[in-house]
Amino acid sequence: MSWLLQWVLPNEVNQIDDIHRTDIEQSIQQLERFVLEHSNKIKKVFLWVCLHRPFSIRQQMEFEERWEKEVRKKIQKEIEVIPIVRKKGNRLDDELIEVNREIHRICIKEPFEEMVLISKGEHSLLQKAVLIGGIKTFQERFCLMLQDETTGEFILQQFHDSPYKKSWLQLYQHLIHHYNYAGALKLMEGLEKNEKTLFIKHLLEVMLFRGNFNFEEALESFQKAKEIHTEDHFRLTETEQILQHLNGMEGEQKKELEQILELYRHIKALLLIEDYPSFLTRFYRVREAVLKYIIKYGPEEKVDMQRVSSIYQFINQVEELYEEEKINRYFGAYFYIKSSNVANALNVRNKSFIGHNRKAISKNAIFHEYYGSKNIKISQATERFLGDTRIMLRDLGGSLDDNLEAMNLYLIELIVSAAKEGAVKVD
Amino acid sequence: MMLEEEELIFIHPTMETENVPNALNVRLKGENLQQKLDDLEEYLENLAMEAKKIRIIVESQGNVLTDAAIHFCMTHFPLKTEIKMKHELWRNSDIHWQGEEVYQLVRHLIYLNKYKMAELILKNYSEDDDLFHLLQFGEQLLNGNAKFVDSNNELFYFHLLQRILKRFDHDKEELQFIQVMKGLANSKQRAFIYFLQNYCKQMYKTEELIDFIVLYYRLAEESLLYAMGWDVNDSNYYWVRRNAKQSVPFEKPISRHFYSYLKIILNKAKENPRNRFYQDLIKDFTQDWLIGLIDLRHEGISGHGFRHFSKELFEEIASGDPIEKMNELLERYGLYTKHDLFELLQKAILALARNSLMDTDGRKNFDRN
């Protein structure tokens, strides 16, 4: 087993250029020395950074890329920078839920390696969160590396038979972070039935129905949840609004835009859990949905379109409307959606077993077609894809939110707080 | 580092520091870090025998021994550990269960085809390479891939599955089925149709209805091609199967679609209205339930619409269970199989997993503060 080395920067970071701040340079020098001494054991280095304030998505991507590049030059190892935004009020539980999401991802990606956290005697909330998250998630494969202040020598502390191997709560978190609501619902069956667990169950159903685009039943389950806990309702306003839009309660145009947004929410989740067949099915659909939206809401006056059999004929029709100046908006969205990046990526679908062929779906092929390069991290590929998506959706008058992820965090918060209050028991 | 349990205990890592007033001052005697760690663990172990709670107070200047104590306490006395940082008190909480229940969940995850998630749990209980290879096989199959990475040993997954099944449950028919399924690695027609059939069944079971109907349509399309007596390769090259009992004379289809194939048969039937084979093909592949489901695929995310999907809707349109309906159709053309590659894989995985999980025991309890 090799090491997934966890290094937590002790101080908060304000801006990208902080990589040259003295305290940070010192910390990275320490890391460099450690990596040099243990080079053959280390598979990958994770650098945890606490951001003093939230960065924009673009800033954060630039931050990760630049820091990773600079640190990689020094340590000659695969490196991943994980930024966590500082929480107001320093709540360890909030920090933990977020840190756990990252550790879950690491654990899925590297199920057989050991997680080694370096303890340098510096205290920070993030260090404690990574420590606790690591102990619970990596369990027996979690190791603490302690440095003797006087001799500089390192000692590895590892325990066998972790109690968290049988942790219900850990499993629940894994399932939720994996958007596996069917699994989470099954897990809930083992819990005592009371108002709190019923509330969570209804919300899980909402998510499950959304997956099948069954929004009537999603809304029904949502109403049932609302009847139980009206006071928790403010956390769910966004979701309620989304469901109302999707059920056409705010008019047709809102419904159609929300359908596109909802597709993208699922697309994002599917990319993150690397479910490529399902991703391609939905990405294929959303291209057409955007074009239809442009045709329907682009022209000042309604235009009647001839039925066409292929997407390329359809694109030609839209092009004609632009040429004839019948559509005078959504230019960005149009050019993005007809771009060769999108078309080529979708060609992977066409040539696969879910399209018109018998071939397997390869992640590399999708990324190669979309970005023109295979050497791209999944998280960054996803972010760049979503970056493009966000710009495109803005042009249509929508914006991509993190509703599924926000719901996930809420679903975890609910069960964590219920567990603390002793309000849930295994039946 | 300080520990608080009714009384405040101050643990000094060295002999040099001054005593803290109103506290029990404990000093670690060890000369180096390892000895100090041993001292600390022994002290905590004894303390935990008497104390109801151990609250570790994290000081702002920090010390490696604090992290070490958190690691030790959270692992050995999870119910008793609390951490105090600045003004915040954090209580460890959890819900634990028994080995048998973990097995039940793994079983359910495997049943849902969530192989990655199952791997996450099983890696804590097993070091069995066979088990993890089978889990990877499952994950790969979901992407339509049956080949092992090593091109000299492309069929490794199938051989492994046969070997494991032979060990636990030697069923000749099942092993024969796996033999046929090896063709999936080379996109062989029959193996591929079986694969679609199996995959559809799984997706319907797990109510992943959008992905289900995509595959269902593909199954209808590939089965129609087979029923015509044709085959096609990945370069869209078509041919009439040599072993086909009956076949539609070859004519290049306009595109690789269900309706494109159907059109060819309709044209031939027009030319030869008395040909029974053509009539049967048309009758079989234009049944209301089938066309209804193909149209439904068209109307959802799976096709070109946003129609809401539910099992009830599917069953209403199919006037019954879509899987059973399809089975009858496939049966008529010798394409139905009662075996399921996913199920066989699940069976093998669970046989290996059960051995690993049943070794452990634990008490079911709820851990709270």
Contact B10, B2 (CB under 8 A): yes
Q: For B74-83, B132-141, B328-337, which range has the lowest pLDDT when averaged over its residues?
A: B74-83
- Confidence band, pLDDT 50/70/90 cuts, at residue B127: confident
Residue with tokens 């290094």: A7
- Confidence band, pLDDT 50/70/90 cuts, at residue B231: very high
pLDDT of A118 strictly over 50: yes
Q: B361: which chain A residues are within 8 Å (Cβ-Cβ)?
A: none
pLDDT of A169 strictly over 90: no
Q: Would you call B86 helix, strand, or coil by DSSP?
A: coil
Mean local confidence (pLDDT), A72-79: 93
B160-189 residues touching A, CB cutoff 8 A: 187
Single pTM value for the model: 0.87
Residue of B nearest to A192 (CA): B366
- Tens digits of per-residue pLDDT, A387-410? 899 999 999 999 889 999 999 999
Question: B274 CA to chain A: closest CA distance, Å?
Answer: 32
- Confidence band, pLDDT 50/70/90 cuts, at residue A190: confident
pLDDT of B361 strictly over 60: no
Maximum alpha-carbon separation in chain B:
107
Q: Which residues contact A343 (CB under 8 A, 6 or more apart)?
A: none
pLDDT of B273 strictly over 80: yes
* Apex B338 CA angle, B337 and B341, nearest 5: 80
Q: Measure CA A36 to chain center.
A: 32
Pairing state of beta strands A142-147 and A3-8?
A: unpaired
pLDDT of B346 strictly over 80: yes
A33 CB-side CA count, 13 A: 10
A289-318 residues touching B, CB cutoff 8 A: 289
CA A384, CA A381: separation in Å to the nearest integer?
A: 5
Residue type, A229: H
Q: Which residues contact A226 (CB under 8 A, 6 or more apart)?
A: A233, A236, A240
Instruction: Judge whether B306 is closer than 8 Å to chain A, CB to CB.
Output: yes
pLDDT at position A259 is 96
**Backbone dihedral region for residue B207 (phi beyond 0: left; psi -120 to 50: alpha; all else: beta):** left
- Confidence band, pLDDT 50/70/90 cuts, at residue B362: very low
Share of chain A above pLDDT 90, in %: 63
Question: A368 CA to chain B: closest CA distance, Å?
Answer: 17
More confident site: B149 or A5: A5
pLDDT at position B367 is 34
Q: What share of chain B is helix, strand, coil (3-state, %, to 5)?
A: 55, 10, 35
Of A211, A213, A359, the CB nearest to B144: A359
Q: B303: which chain A residues are within 8 Å (Cβ-Cβ)?
A: 285
- Tens digits of per-residue pLDDT, B72-119? 999 999 888 999 888 788 888 877 666 567 787 788 889 989 999 899
Instruction: Judge whether B135 is closer than 8 Å to chain A, CB to CB.
Output: no
Q: A147: which chain B residues are within 8 Å (Cβ-Cβ)?
A: 33, 64
- Tens digits of per-residue pLDDT, B248-261? 999 988 888 999 99
Q: B34: which chain A residues are within 8 Å (Cβ-Cβ)?
A: 155
Residue of B nearest to A122 (CA): B62
Q: What is the DSSP string of A388-399?
A: HHHHHHHHHT--
pLDDT of B365 strictly over 60: no
**What rounded mean pLDDT belongs to chain A?**
90
Strand partners, B54: B81
* Range among A110-119, A166-175, B88-97, B155-164 rated most confident: B155-164
Instruction: Judge whether A164 is closer than 8 Å to chain B, CB to CB.
Output: yes
pLDDT at position B369 is 32
Question: B365 CA to chain A: closest CA distance, Å?
Answer: 7
Of B67, B195, B364, the CB nearest to A144: B67
More confident site: B11 or B151: B11
Q: Would you call A259 helix, strand, or coil by DSSP?
A: helix
Of the candidates A127, A141, A103, the one whose C-alpha atom is nearest the C-alpha of residue A27 is A127
pLDDT of B174 strictly over 80: yes
pLDDT at position A121 is 81
Question: B170 CA to chain A: closest CA distance, Å?
Answer: 30
pLDDT of B338 strictly over 50: yes
Contact A111 B119 (CB under 8 A): yes
Contact B256 A356 (CB under 8 A): yes
